[in-house]
Structure 1
Amino acid sequence: MYFQHSHDIWRDFPELVPGVILARGISGQAHLEEPLARFGAAAAERLATATEGELPEIRAWRRAFSTMGLKPTQYRCASESLLRRFRKEGSLPRLHPLIDLCNAVSIAYAIPVAVFDLARISAYVEVRYATGDETYLTFAGETEHPPAKEVIFADAAGRAHARRWTNRQSGHSAVRDTTEDVLIVAEALHDTARADVESLIAALSAELSAHWPVSPRSAVLTPSAPRFECTEAAT
């Protein structure tokens, strides 16, 4: 199993910086009050002087959405949606310890963070343009078909595990109480994306190790090294 972006995505968005974490042995039992408060405070500090739409990380995603023919304020990247809710309500809903942690890290860095249950993935995940034949399962249980040229997270079975790139994940591979092995993906497009994604991946990996019995593997991908192998090599 592996994760990668297609050649077309790298060609059209050369500023892209993706970071990936693989963690095996996750459970729904973890107490995360301290890191959730800490990352939330970092987000609140940034929002005290600017709205989410003024942050360079979000502005870069808005430009990308415009390039894809989407209205940026109609289809927001995941981190913008979370920041918007956090600014208005002062908190985020609690869903699952891992999701709560990734959402907190996402608002602290203003970078979209996606989490996939590896047991629900077929062979690979590739961020690519849709052909129009893929299926997408909503959280409400409805099946959609992303139109051709929409950026999706696709697997070998033709499932779209996210629509409109960083806009909306699928219910099919969402983290649940039975989830054990996860693939976490953070993507950024702004000027300091490389340093910020490296910092995000390091911070999130440290929290995973501190709160679960896991040994995360991670990488920051590039056009010359675009693939992350989710299966450890035999020794």
Structure 2
Amino acid sequence: MRPYELTLADAAAAIRAGELSPVELTDSVLERAEAAEGRLHAFVSVRADEARASAARAAREIAAGRTRGPLHGIPMGIKDVIDVKGQPTTASSSVRADHIADADSTVATRLADAGAVLLGKTHTHEFAYGLTTPQTRNAWDADRVAGGSSGGSAVAVAAGGATFALGTDTGGSIRVPAALNGVVGLKPTYGLVPSDGVTSLSWSLDHVGPVTRTVQDAALVLAALTGDDPPP
């Protein structure tokens, strides 16, 4: 099995055992993302150099015994409605092309603290207001829709272009694309995961949640998002 095909849990176990390095995993996922991007358009932007530097830093920390948990060295994508300091948050809209986040969202901070490797921002239906993400194609059939609004996140995970990703859900925006691409999408209990630094569609209904390949992986990401200890 190629590294980009691993579940989060299996990749984390291989890293802990010294059988796989974060650099090897990130290189494999980046190569897969690049190969699929021309057909699927899952990403708004990929910051490969920054991702490789982050993976190398994770590898050094792990080698020194400073392991941060199961997300340490794991490559991820973040839906482009979630702020990452110094990066555009466009909500896949040309009118926000120059909108640069001046601070990290809480969820971005928590994933960085967990040692996850950010690959880039994933496409959304414009302003997260729709269920198709028309610029992104289904991971299994490029003639079909990806679902939305977290279509880029679901497609990236399904295609191997990210080991996990973050999405947002107001009225199905994680669950619909996860279902259409054969991955796991979790809409957490309202208020369980902080939503500050996230472009809002409806503040009383918005949720931030994980898109993963397995339920076990979703539990691992959710633990990092909530600040809880990861499940065994």
TM over 0.5: no
Higher relative contact order (CA closer than 8 Å, sequence separation 6+): 1
- TM-score (ref. length: structure 1): 0.31
Larger Rg: 1
